């Protein structure tokens, strides 16, 4: 951390600040420039309150020289993390295809889709979506029903299952769900993150549509601080002025996150654009960019699905996309 | 609502769709163009699933011709809503100055600040902020302590008090808080919105940093659907590429929201920039743009506050800002 | 085009407006709803001044139902356009790899790089960049020197050459350049677009960092209105809040532009991120998303290049990237 | 400037880099941390090629500690710059009201509007707009006609006149125009900036819709490097996801630019939203935020103006807005 002092600060005030840093266990190097004096702080600066330091009378600005995240930082763990759920591995060269319907309508439908998906190469069944237009009570009832469908499909196919979780209260209800998904709206829901941090279950952490990469990594850090290292980072599109799609998939975030962190990085090929007809090209791009997996919304009959029909692809389209992805993954990892 | 059919749709398929709309209680006007056939839907289209319609084979696109919100729409209530809390009125020409510290440190501190603020013209005491870096348990304990400070200050000054609420579980603990604030991160926390909709307590609803105006108004609509009409809309800055400030205050949102809705509209002068030294000019701009009030972070000793020190102004600065605001409000409403 | 009239408009005023539309050669269908009357305009509405119509007293809003661009619209030409430059074809299944150094330093350097690039699979040599920090006179002199290097490399390798053009005055100097590139800053430089529209030389039109897809297509339309149909659209990243990279590559823009238009669509793998170490993954993603080509900044010695060193890759890296791209292109077009 | 070296760099390589910096006339302070070695550069670092330095093998990152602009920096000139045009002063407490029609239709119309504007408090007549949909030849002809109208109105009223300039070639034609406006699309048109830098005429420099404040100030720096210090900075709205208005006026940019620079700062109240009915509230906000002036689009008959009718206000509305602004300016400068 670099602390830049204001022009004209007295030696006394400067030394007082230096003594305060030293009392926090930090070493301080002083560098005097023509216009500014700069203090270089040496040691563990992560717990410093940078806002407070920046507001001090004698401080002009501070600049970080190391990333503010540690546990998920690749500098401190060069090798890839590998997350396992059932027989599926994700990360470290293992590619995870998370597929399934937003709209879970019956046990029969879910099992039938799951079988097709497995046959085409999916290795995690993911399902469900939040319909906010109904009361909490109905949401909860529907949620339990959907969990039941997924668990039946898991029994029928052996695939691990993933589902979005919305609140701390829901945790016990998700006992049989193998991977918990934190949606973009909950990326900074700290009570939920803390609860998930106290478990060992794999967590998919989605980037908020308005979060920088650093903010996403800080959220992962928060979960990991509780002891859970099984985090999968998920890019799902950010909000920009570009208005043909629901969000703008930040494709370069994939190699960047992999550079910054050892955690597996996946992306959501369906929700980033909201348009099923773009799922094919976008999925292949995600794979080619070096992701460790991706999420695809698949439905047996998209135009007649209860919702998000515009966003899902058919099981036939999925099979074709998965085949291409498998060949692209081979090309880039050969 | 306008439904644009694809080029080359058969008369049979078109008539089938028309019959379906009619079965939903809608009237349908048909307009044939050179390249397209357009259906104009007449009646209550708000409950239609537009995503589903747009995904139908024969539909090219849909266009709304009326806003999707109704209860907060000025078209259906031309006169301004006025919200009351204690002796304070907000809206309809009544200007609300919500002031107080992010950092609530002791009963004594809060009462002392509250007295100064009241003397300078504030009419709601607002306080507290969320420090996400601590455990839920500590947050809850701290929250109860902070509520205690605010209630004491309310007794000492007679000012109504406002505080951010984070979850449904907290509602009973906020019994003595007069105005509940929904922060930008919770604008789409539907369980919380539903709970607040079932009460009659005034609610400040902050725009998410990534929400359009329509999305903010749809969130207000969701609360109002529960029966609570006491909503105050709050602009607090959106996330953009402009990086000198934490967010970009969307100043034109103030007159636009007032045009679209009858609800009072305020803005947060402190959190939008995150820089206390900009609070003066930004507060005056908010007032001059026609807002019904504003929020200002005020602290007795900003550089030594527990956090957000960079963002708060002193009680002396507040007094000077409030005096200017009062004169500007006179100019624009004379 | 749909014109929505205000509530309560008199029949007389409405009929007056209808007569005016009819006098412009348009047919008008009237649709009366519960709250609004809607006019559906039939015929060529592209030349209507929509701003003017929207500002009329009796008009509430207008909604377009067809895209405002025509010549580049795939609706009016379903088959892909194919652009040729020398022996290179771009579009319709032909993949164009535009590679070369931003920093053109000597005839020897450029010829040597060009030979390597050709051997590795590049089919257009692209070079040069604008250093705005020098006077116009120096820019012009340097430009002429750079054109000389490129033309020599073209003679030595047979590859067609591409270079950014900055002004109408430069057109004669670019006689031996095969493909003219319009940079993102000039996407709405109408005098330059008009001049290029009057020629038949291929033009790469880069999307401005703040342009929607529609705005890019309207710029293409403007060039094509002059008679030049040899336009290549180029996505190069948009400006967003995401700050790890210079811009955010809008990967979904590639399939979207190909859906909306018959023109070839390429993307700039280097300038979108500004980081050479991301060129590999980003290039592969661009290819996998279905682009007709891409631009890569390649330099013999990036750390010692005159500028943009941070952005270029070595000729060795390029060879490896090009090999992967060729295999990915095979996968998605098999 | 701070240069952060990579972990594990050899002393030899480090010393080699230090000697290179010293050969550029810079002093170098070395600060060794636990994980990094940091070099603090002392002296004039503005001309260093930071991209090149950042791409060196041994460098992890660089951080600037001073702003990269100098001539327009308030640190080097604490007192406000005051720009004069005719009898009008702008900056240093002098408020400039730039008003006039986008649509200049006849000498009579322009003179009549100018007289009204002057009577209501405007002190600069500004006029014209670019209609890109016509050929360059027509633009030039129309431009000359419009300059004629403005010059006639200047003679009739004594007001200085301002008009947008599009290219270096136009400079001689603008001899009688007192203030040259560089539009947002030309903020980085370096040949034009260089030409204006060689004159002494006042220049309004508009921020591009995708420019950061630093980029705007760097453009001002570029003009000033040529010797022209008469620059007025103009905020005109940035491109964001918020879609009710054409752009989002960055109101906090006004106090920030005034803090960073000694140049006068104005804002465009009309083009930022594109909606005439918001001009009143937005203009008052601009003034209240501490701007040195503002631009307002005024037309005698907005609904029948040749274009931009949706954006202009009537002369009557202008009179009322100007009266409020004058009172608000009094409040904030008393």
Question: With 80 as the cut, is the pLDDT of residue D50 above it?
Answer: no
Name the pLDDT band for C131 (thresholds 50, 70, 90): low
Q: What's residue C132's pLDDT?
A: 57
Q: Inspect the interface and report whether the beta carbons of A255 and C213 lie closer than 8 Å.
A: no
Count of B-C CB contacts under 8 Å: 61
What distance in Å separates residue D77's CA from the closest CA in chain A?
15
Nearest CA in chain B to C238: B241
What span, in angstroms and rounded, lies between the C-alpha atoms of C83 and D182?
36
CATH class of D83-332: alpha beta
What span, in angstroms and rounded, lies between the C-alpha atoms of A271 and C208?
25
Question: With 70 as the cut, is the pLDDT of residue A43 above it?
Answer: yes
Chains touching chain B through at least 3 C-beta pairs below 8 angstroms are: A, C, D
Contact B159, B122 (CB under 8 A): yes
Joined together, the tokens standing for residue B184 give 């930008």
Q: Which residues of A touch B130 (CB under 8 A)?
A: 190
Q: What's residue C278's pLDDT?
A: 95
Residue with tokens 């102004």: B313
As for the ipTM of the complex, it is 0.90
Cα R_g (chain C), whole angstroms: 23
Contact D252, D200 (CB under 8 A): no
Q: What's residue C309's pLDDT?
A: 66
Q: Inspect the interface and report whether the beta carbons of B282 and D210 lie closer than 8 Å.
A: no
What span, in angstroms and rounded, lies between the C-alpha atoms of D202 and D161?
11
- pLDDT, tens digit, for every residue of D238-280? 999 998 899 999 999 999 999 999 999 999 999 999 999 999 9
Name the pLDDT band for C135 (thresholds 50, 70, 90): low
How many percent of chain D have pLDDT more than 90? 62
Using CA atoms in the order B134, B135, B136, B139, what is the torsion angle rounded to 10 degrees? -40
Q: What is the pTM of this model?
A: 0.90
| Range list of H helices, chain B | 11-23, 50-55, 107-120, 136-157, 190-197, 213-225, 253-260, 279-288, 315-333
Does an H or E element contain D232, and which? strand D231-235
Q: What's residue D35's pLDDT?
A: 60
What span, in angstroms and rounded, lies between the C-alpha atoms of D30 and D41?
9
**Does residue B256 sit in helix, strand or coil?**
helix
What span, in angstroms and rounded, lies between the C-alpha atoms of B147 and B100?
13
How large is the average pLDDT for residues C116-141? 81
Q: What's residue B33's pLDDT?
A: 63
Q: What's residue A13's pLDDT?
A: 86
Q: Inspect the interface and report whether the beta carbons of A191 and B302 lie closer than 8 Å.
A: no
Name the pLDDT band for A108 (thresholds 50, 70, 90): very high
Chain C residues within 8 Å of chain B (Cβ atoms): 2, 4, 27, 29, 31-36, 38, 40-43, 61, 63, 65-66, 75, 239-241, 243
Using CA atoms in the order B286, B292, B295, B296, what is the torsion angle rounded to 10 degrees? 60
What span, in angstroms and rounded, lies between the C-alpha atoms of B294 and B254?
11
Q: Which residues of A touch C273 (CB under 8 A)?
A: 252
Q: Inspect the interface and report whether the beta carbons of C252 and A254 lie closer than 8 Å.
A: no
Residue with tokens 């509940």: B180
What span, in angstroms and rounded, lies between the C-alpha atoms of D254 and D272?
14
What span, in angstroms and rounded, lies between the C-alpha atoms of B315 and B319?
6
Domain boundaries, chain A: 2-63, 83-332
Residues listed for chain B: 334
Question: With 80 as the cut, is the pLDDT of residue A232 above it?
Answer: yes
What span, in angstroms and rounded, lies between the C-alpha atoms of D165 and D192?
9
Contact D246, C210 (CB under 8 A): no
- pLDDT, tens digit, for every residue of A264-321? 999 999 999 999 999 999 999 999 999 999 999 999 888 766 666 678 999 999 999 9
**Does residue A329 sit in helix, strand or coil?**
helix
Nearest CA in chain C to A281: C289
Name the pLDDT band for D136 (thresholds 50, 70, 90): low
Question: With 70 as the cut, is the pLDDT of residue D42 above it?
Answer: yes
Joined together, the tokens standing for residue B80 give 């301004």
User: Would you give the DSSP letter of residue B166?
Assistant: -
C315-333 helix and C279-288 helix, angle to the nearest 10 degrees? 20
Residues of chain B with pLDDT under 70: 33-36, 46-47, 130-138, 304-309
Question: With 60 as the cut, is the pLDDT of residue C133 above it?
Answer: no
D227: left (phi over 0), alpha (psi -120 to 50) or beta: left
Q: What's residue C20's pLDDT?
A: 84
> Residue D274 — φ and ψ, nearest 5°?
75, 5
**Does residue B282 sit in helix, strand or coil?**
helix
What span, in angstroms and rounded, lies between the C-alpha atoms of C263 and C292?
9
Contact A41, A77 (CB under 8 A): no
**Does domain A2-63 fall into CATH 3.30.70.1140?**
yes
Q: What's residue B63's pLDDT?
A: 80
Chain D residues within 8 Å of chain B (Cβ atoms): 210, 212-213, 238, 240-245, 248-256, 259, 272-273, 277-278, 280-282, 284-290, 324, 327-328, 331-332
Between C56 and B296, the higher pLDDT residue: B296
Q: What's residue D221's pLDDT?
A: 93
C8: left (phi over 0), alpha (psi -120 to 50) or beta: left
Residue with tokens 């597929």: A99
- pLDDT, tens digit, for every residue of A46-59? 667 777 787 777 88
Between D296 and A243, the higher pLDDT residue: D296
Name the pLDDT band for D166 (thresholds 50, 70, 90): confident
Using CA atoms in the order D268, D271, D277, D283, what is the torsion angle rounded to 10 degrees? -10
What distance in Å separates residue D312's CA from the closest CA in chain C?
10
Partner-chain residue, chosen from A212, A256, A281, that has the shortest CB–CB distance to C255: A281
Q: Inspect the interface and report whether the beta carbons of C278 and A286 lie closer than 8 Å.
A: no
- Side-chain-facing half-sphere of D180: CA atoms under 13 Å: 28
List the beta bridge partners of residue B39: B3, B30
Between C49 and B251, the higher pLDDT residue: B251
D107-120 helix and D136-157 helix, angle to the nearest 10 degrees? 50
Partner-chain residue, chosen from D56, D308, D310, that has the shortest CB–CB distance to C303: D56
- pLDDT, tens digit, for every residue of A126-171? 998 765 555 566 677 888 999 999 999 999 999 999 999 988 889 9
What span, in angstroms and rounded, lies between the C-alpha atoms of C166 and C189?
9
| Range list of H helices, chain D | 11-23, 50-54, 107-120, 136-157, 190-197, 213-225, 253-260, 279-288, 315-333
Least confident of A6-20, A318-332, B81-95, D217-231: A6-20
Least Cα distance to D270 among D294, D243, D253, D250 occurs for D294
Residue with tokens 């700062």: D265
Question: With 90 as the cut, is the pLDDT of residue A118 above it?
Answer: yes
Q: What's residue A132's pLDDT?
A: 56
| Range list of H helices, D230-307 | 253-260, 279-288
D122-159 burial code (b ≥16 CB/10 A, e <16)? bbbbbbbbbebeeeeeebbeebeebbebbbbbbeebeb
Least Cα distance to C21 among C84, C44, A191 occurs for C44
Partner-chain residue, chosen from A273, A289, A331, that has the shortest CB–CB distance to C281: A289
Q: What's residue B208's pLDDT?
A: 96
How large is the average pLDDT for residues D177-193? 92
Least confident of A249-263, C161-175, C316-330: C161-175
What span, in angstroms and rounded, lies between the C-alpha atoms of A74 and A256?
11
């Amino acid at each position: 951390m670099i602390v830049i002092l204001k022009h004209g600060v007295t030696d006394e005030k400067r030394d007082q600040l230096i003594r305060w840093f030293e009392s926090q266990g930090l070493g301080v190097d002083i560098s005097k420039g023509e216009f500014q004096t700069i203090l270089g702080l040496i040691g563990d600066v992560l717990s410093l309150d940078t806002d407070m330091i920046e507001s001090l009378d004698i401080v002009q600005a501070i600049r970080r020289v190391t990333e503010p995240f540690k546990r998920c930082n690749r500098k401190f763990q060069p090798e890839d993390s590998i997350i396992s759920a059932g027989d599926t591995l994700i990360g470290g060269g293992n590619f995870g295809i998370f597929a399934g319907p937003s709209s879970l309508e019956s046990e029969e439908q879910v099992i039938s889709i799951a079988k097709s998906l497995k046959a085409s190469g999916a290795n995690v069944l993911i399902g469900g979506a939040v319909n906010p237009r109904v009361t909490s009570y109905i949401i909860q009832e529907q949620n339990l029903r959907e969990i039941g469908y997924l668990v039946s499909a898991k029994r029928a196919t052996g695939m691990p299952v993933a589902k979005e979780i919305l609140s701390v209260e829901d945790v016990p209800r998700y006992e049989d769900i193998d991977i918990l998904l934190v949606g973009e709206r909950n990326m900074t829901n700290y009570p939920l993150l803390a609860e998930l941090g106290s478990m060992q279950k794999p967590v998919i952490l989605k980037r908020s549509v308005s979060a920088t990469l650093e903010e996403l990594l800080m959220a992962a850090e928060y979960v990991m601080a509780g002891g859970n290292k099984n985090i999968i980072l998920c890019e799902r599109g950010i909000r920009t002025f570009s208005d043909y799609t629901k969000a703008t998939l930040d494709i370069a975030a994939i190699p960047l996150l992999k550079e910054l962190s050892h955690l597996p990085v996946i992306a959501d090929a369906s929700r980033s654009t909201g348009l099923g007809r773009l799922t094919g090209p976008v999925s292949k791009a995600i794979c080619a960019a070096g992701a460790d997996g991706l999420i695809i919304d698949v439905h047996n009959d998209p135009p007649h699905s209860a919702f998000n029909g515009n966003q899902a692809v058919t099981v036939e389209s999925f099979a074709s996309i998965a085949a291409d992805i498998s060949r692209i993954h081979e090309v880039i990892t050969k």
